[in-house]
Structure 1
Amino acid sequence: MFSDTHFHFHHLIERGLDGVEILSQLAERNTFFGLDIGTRSDDLLRRHVQLQETVSRLPENLREAADQMLYYSAGIWPDVDEIKNRTEAMKKLSDSIEAFADKSHLVAIGECGLDHHWNPGGADGRCESDFDQSVYEGERELFQMQIDLAKKMNLPVIVHSRDAFEDTLDCIKNMGYHKGIIHCYSYGKEEARQFLDLGWYIAFGGATTYTKKAKMDEMKELLRFVPDDRILMETDSPYLAPVPFRGQTNTPVLIEHCYHFVAQARGVLPSELSLTVDKNIKSLFRFENA
């Protein structure tokens, strides 16, 4: 139950969490799908080694279940250095994908996209002053290069879009490839409509649980608006832990709190939402016979 379509396992380990305990809990709960997300041009092979080494330390009766549920994406988050060196970065990304041995478990390109949220003191260190016209244009180009790679590989794209709706929509329309996820969705109903009309999936996570009372009706309307065949759930862990764990390090184990919140808004049981999400995962990632 309670698949997670977006987490960063290596960041969990960097924060001192017990990876064996996390994967054990997911396996014990018969989690269908967990997607470990790439953010750097050269991180895929390292992430794979780390996860496989962790799986090898699980109790023997849980190893197979853990191994079967774990999948990978490969992509470049819009970091300023990666943007400025995008041609080299894309070559590193392509080389790492070519060298990746477990190709049946590489199921998406990303996360990639646009980020215009300025928070110099935050984890991303995002400064508006870093984004002159050449960096803005380079960010769009890097995003579109990854969409093109996904198109060539016939894989979904995991899209990061923060405070950049119009540019994001413009880029994906330019590329004419509409297969993937708008991850950690942070826009409104009308923006969702435009993504949905093009064929994109919408993923919700812990941030939905932070909604202020004045905005709760609007949030519930959005959560009900996304149709059953386009909704996905994620943690984006170690970030955005859901209420009542806000401010703590998030993990895929906490995904159930996101499911409970969204299911309540949609007027269904969490178990029903779980089945819906798993059906969408099978469709998007081509597990139709799973």
Structure 2
Amino acid sequence: MFSDTHFHFYNMTQERGLDGTEVLAALAGRDTFFGLDIGTKADDLFLRKQAIDRAASLLCGELKKKAEKLIHYSAGIWPDVESIKNRDKCLETLKKNILLFNEAGEQEDGETGKQEEGENAFNAGKKSEGRGDCRKILAIGECGLDHHWNPSGADGRCQEDFDEKIFKGEKELFMMQIELAEKMGLPLIVHSRDAFEDTLDCLDELDFHNGIIHCYSYGLSEAKEFLDRGWYLAFGGGTTYTKKAKMPQMTELLRYVPEDRILLETDAPYLAPVPFRGQTNSPVLVEHCYSFVASARNTTPQDLSETVDKNIKKLFCL
């Protein structure tokens, strides 16, 4: 119960000090169906998996099996300035690590056939059986555009760093990953903050509309644009921060999103939901997001959880 479609396990445990084994035990203990560990760096994939494997190794029996089964992975490049500047090299690194990761997963499954090399490997992997295996990459991302300037924030966003060349490079890095998702037949995890029109321009230019607008932070009119194109909208802890004066607009938005297009997430270790705002977030706390959204939609957290799990199965071919 209470799946989480977006969290950063390594940051949460290695940088923020949460006990990863306790987190996995709690998720497995309540029979969580799905958790997606999200990539942000070209070379972070195996580091992230090692952190989760170490945490899971301290569990025993059925609890360990459940924990290992519920965790899945994405791979992507968040648009930090250094990745933007080195986008060609970063993309090649990302592609290489995805292939190695998927090959390792095939070996764990007992498959002996060697995966095709280069671009053929991506084409061969489209819509293939077993895509939902927890040892395979399930999505590309998170990737996208971020024009929220907050130098003191976790991502240290400075407008001074974004001259015309960097703005152009940010779009190129995003579109390179859109193309990669298309080649691999995988959904995209989109990060879009204060960049609605540019985000939509990139997606429309490549005519790619398959995946999640993560940590949705726009209004109803923008939601309609994404939904009309086939995107899923994911709501997290930030949704629970809605001020009383803006609650009618938030309620209207949450009620408008169709049942087959809504997802829930934490973005842990960031954006802990009320009543834990300001603390380190965890996928365990996603239940508070479910409670908030369910209340707005006049349903129960349990029914919303079933709805989200159905959407997860459809989007990720599980």
TM interval, shorter chain, is: over 0.9
Q: Deviations over 1:169-195 (max 9, x none)?
A: 000001111100000000000000000
- Which residue is 2:62 aligned to? 61
- Which residue is 1:21 aligned to? 22
- Which residue is 1:102 aligned to? 105
Instruction: Return the letter of the residue paired with 2:89.
Output: E
Instruction: Return the letter of the residue paired with 1:43.
Output: D
Moved more, 193-202 or 94-103: 94-103
SS at match of 2:63: helix
- In the alignment, which of 196, 209, 220 is matched to residue 178 of structure 1? 209
Instruction: Return the letter of the residue paired with 1:79.
Output: D
CA displacement at 1:155 relative to structure 2: 0.4
Q: Say whether 1:4 aligns with 2:4.
A: yes
CA displacement at 1:53 relative to structure 2: 1.8
- Which residue is 2:172 aligned to? 141
Q: Deviations over 1:91-128 (max 9, x none)?
A: 11001001102363310000000000000111111000
Instruction: Return the letter of the residue paired with 1:151.
Output: E
SS at match of 1:246: coil
SS at match of 2:287: helix
SS at match of 1:102: helix
Aligned equivalents of 1:68, 1:123: Cα separation in 2: 31
Structure 1 unaligned blocks of 5 or more:
none
- Which residue is 1:216 aligned to? 247
CA displacement at 1:56 relative to structure 2: 1.1
CA displacement at 1:164 relative to structure 2: 0.2
Aligned equivalents of 2:62, 2:212: Cα separation in 1: 33
Q: Say whether 1:256 aligns with 2:287.
A: yes
SS at match of 1:120: coil
TM-score normalized with structure 2 length: 0.89
Aligned equivalents of 2:31, 2:246: Cα separation in 1: 35
- Which residue is 2:301 aligned to? 270
CA displacement at 1:61 relative to structure 2: 2.7
CA displacement at 1:60 relative to structure 2: 2.4
Q: How many residues align?
A: 287
- Which residue is 2:158 aligned to? 127
Aligned equivalents of 1:56, 1:133: Cα separation in 2: 47
RMSD in angstroms over aligned alpha carbons? 0.7
Residues 187-202 of structure 1 aligned to structure 2 (within 5 Å): 187-202=218-233
Aligned equivalents of 2:314, 2:154: Cα separation in 1: 34
CA displacement at 1:68 relative to structure 2: 0.6
Aligned equivalents of 1:145, 1:6: Cα separation in 2: 21
Aligned equivalents of 1:117, 1:164: Cα separation in 2: 8
TM-score normalized with structure 1 length: 0.98
